[in-house]
Amino acid sequence: MTQNERVKEIRNSLGLTMERFGERLGIKKAAISKIEKGENSLTEQNLKSICREFSVDYIWLTTGEGEMFVDNDDDIIETIDRIMLGENEFHKNLFKTFARLDENELLALEQFVDKFIEVKKGKD
């Protein structure tokens, strides 16, 4: 699969039209069409923009090796920010408590959760 075909695969997996995909990259629909058809090559700037905007793995996009998308914690960070700016004190204090745990306490919590999952699976 070529880089151009991988661009189309990214766009299709995200459910975006050529127009919407291009808008997010600052590229016109016609340019996206030419890239996907192999009429135009991807520039280094195009590659970096696609990776940044859509959390695509650069190695996958350039070589086809590995996974298409990289893990991106932006959604989680946004959720935490929203909770911390909100009015629910319990939710805020829960995150504050987790943030203050030391390594031993985090390990104990992890073991507790693992044990909980083990017990829960036994009941199912």
Rounded to two decimals, the pTM is 0.59
Task: Spell out the SS3 assignment of the chain.
Answer: CCHHHHHHHHHHHHCCCHHHHHHHHCCCHHHHHHHHHCCCCCCHHHHHHHHHHHCECHHHHHHCCCCCECCCCHHHHHHHHHHHHCCCHHHHHHHHHHHHCCHHHHHHHHHHHHHHHHHHHHHC
pLDDT band at 124 (very low <50, low <70, confident <90, very high): low
Which pLDDT does position 75 carry in this prediction? 74
pLDDT in tens, 82-122: 899 999 999 999 999 999 999 999 999 999 999 999 998 88
Q: Which domains occur in the chain, in start order?
A: 3-63 (1.10.260.40), 74-123 (no CATH)
